[in-house]
Amino acid sequence: MQDDVYTSRVTRGEDASSPDAGKESSAHEPLSNCEDTRAFDKDEKRKLPTTSRHPHGVIISHSKLRKIHRNVVDSNVALFQQSLRRIECVNTIALTLIILVSSRGCDHDMQLVHSLDHLNLIKSLSSKSVEEKKVIVKKWAKKSVYFYEESSDSACLAVDYVIKVKEKVFKGELDSAVAIVQPPGHHAEADKAIIFCLYNNIVIAASHIKKELKVSKIMIVDWDIHHGNGTQKSYWKDNTVLYFSVHRYDSGKFFPGGDVGSHNSIGEGEGKGFTINVPWPHGLYGDADYLVVWEHILLPVAHKFNSDIILISGGFDAGKNLIF
Ligand SMILES: [Zn+2]
């Protein structure tokens, strides 16, 4: 598939795994190299929930651009390949409806979240030499920021896909949807890129929702193994967006470090009490522990806050043997 064309595969009906089910496009291609989940696809034919008005959606950044979002300081870092494999596995697990989209970029208003200086800097990356990029990286406190020749385009696409998902849900085409994108965004702050995160995708989406759709209350649930410092900072004094994060903390030694992910970090001013952190003290927590947190903290809080929409920062790096 060309990266600059719009291609979609949509499956509807009882047998969503059928290659011909409700397809909108004749352009098909393999979705995954994940052997385990491919076997699951074959044996367990998926059915759409009959109680749902609309199907759930998965929107996938199917672009070569995400593959070249690398660490400019250390080009030998190969962790991103593992991330790609994990994304491919998630693809096959989740689908009831799949939309593969490729677009040339995004022109969304990101000044709702990021400073103009930051936006101009990220946009200018493609025209800068590797040495110039290294100088930029070293300006930031966390020095291992990932960007490469096409990273600004890749980050822009990630924003675009998250916005597209948001629009499909709000137009009523889908009950819920997932954007599987690289690079992620929850560490990015208004004027700072951190690690893989150049733009804060979920905060940009939330800002658009608040501005365009007059939504009054948004809940953001972040289950990435790392604390979403950038997302938390964006709503630190805001009582209209509740930020809930479960993450590894290790007394402030686990990335992003410091006390921002502490249970004492609860917001300030009007936002006091609208940031909730559940910090794991080490890395040995598992499914049962997450379920306890969901049942005894997340769900009661969600019911009480009663948001108009829930956004999830679903980083999948908490799994065993998954580094990032
Ligand atoms: Zn993470």
pLDDT, tens digit (0-9, with 9 covering 90-100), for 97-128: 455 555 556 778 899 999 999 998 888 877 88
The token pair that represents 20 in the structure block: 């011909």
The token pair that represents 290 in the structure block: 């997450």
- Average pLDDT estimate for 17-24: 32
Residue 18 has pLDDT above 50, yes or no: no
Query: What is the Cα–Cα distance from 55 to 174, expressed in whole angstroms?
Result: 6
Q: What is the pLDDT of residues 132-167, one digit of tens each?
A: 877 777 777 655 677 666 778 878 888 888 888 888
Given 187, 208, 227, 247, the catalytic residue:
187
Closest CA to 149 of 132, 173, 166, 163: 132
Closest CA to 100 of 16, 186, 26, 38: 26
Count CB atoms within 10 A of the CB of residue 214: 8
Going from the Cα of 257 to the center of ligand 1, the distance in angstroms, rounded, reads 12
Q: What is the pLDDT of residues 275-322, one digit of tens each?
A: 999 999 999 999 999 999 999 999 999 999 999 999 999 887 887 665
Strand order in the sheet with 218-222: 275-280, 241-248, 218-222, 309-313
Going from the Cα of 224 to the center of ligand 1, the distance in angstroms, rounded, reads 5
Going from the Cα of 278 to the center of ligand 1, the distance in angstroms, rounded, reads 15
Q: What are phi and psi of 126, to 5 degrees?
A: -65, -25
Rounded to 5°, the CA angle 133-136-139 comes to 150
Amino acid at 284: L
User: Percentage of residues in the chain with pLDDT exceeding 70?
Assistant: 63
- Average pLDDT estimate for 248-254: 96
CATH H-level superfamily of 54-215: Histone deacetylase domain (3.40.800.20)
DSSP character at residue 295 = I
The domain spans of the chain are 54-215, 216-323
Count CB atoms within 10 A of the CB of residue 140: 15
Going from the Cα of 202 to the center of ligand 1, the distance in angstroms, rounded, reads 14
DSSP character at residue 71 = B
Residue 94 has pLDDT above 60, yes or no: no
Q: For residue 260, what pLDDT is reported? A: 96
Going from the Cα of 45 to the center of ligand 1, the distance in angstroms, rounded, reads 31
Going from the Cα of 290 to the center of ligand 1, the distance in angstroms, rounded, reads 16
Q: For residue 22, what pLDDT is reported? A: 30
Going from the Cα of 132 to the center of ligand 1, the distance in angstroms, rounded, reads 27
Closest CA to 104 of 150, 52, 145, 36: 150
- What one-character-per-residue DSSP string does 250-282 give? GGGTSTT-TTTTSTT----GGGTTSEEEEEESS
Going from the Cα of 16 to the center of ligand 1, the distance in angstroms, rounded, reads 31
Going from the Cα of 320 to the center of ligand 1, the distance in angstroms, rounded, reads 13
Query: What is the Cα–Cα distance from 45 to 43, expressed in whole angstroms?
Result: 6
Work out the mean pLDDT of the chain and round it to a whole number. 73
- Average pLDDT estimate for 172-178: 78
Q: For residue 103, what pLDDT is reported? A: 59
Closest CA to 161 of 90, 22, 24, 62: 62
Count CB atoms within 10 A of the CB of residue 3: 13
Going from the Cα of 120 to the center of ligand 1, the distance in angstroms, rounded, reads 25
The CA–CA distances, whole Å, from 239 to 210, 219, 230, 235, 270 equal 13, 10, 17, 8, 6
- Helix, strand or coil for residue 51? coil
- Evaluate whether 293 touches 249 at the Cβ level (below 8 Å): no
Q: Which residue has the tokens 């499914």?
A: 287
Going from the Cα of 140 to the center of ligand 1, the distance in angstroms, rounded, reads 19
More confident residue, 270 or 52: 270
Query: What is the Cα–Cα distance from 154 to 162, expressed in whole angstroms?
Result: 13
Strand partners, 243: 220, 275
Query: What is the Cα–Cα distance from 181 to 101, expressed in whole angstroms?
Result: 11
Helical H segments across the chain, by residue range: 35-43, 79-94, 116-123, 130-139, 151-170, 201-213, 229-234, 287-293, 299-305
- Catalytic residue list contains 282: no
Q: Would you mind telling me the total number of residues written for the chain in this entry?
A: 324
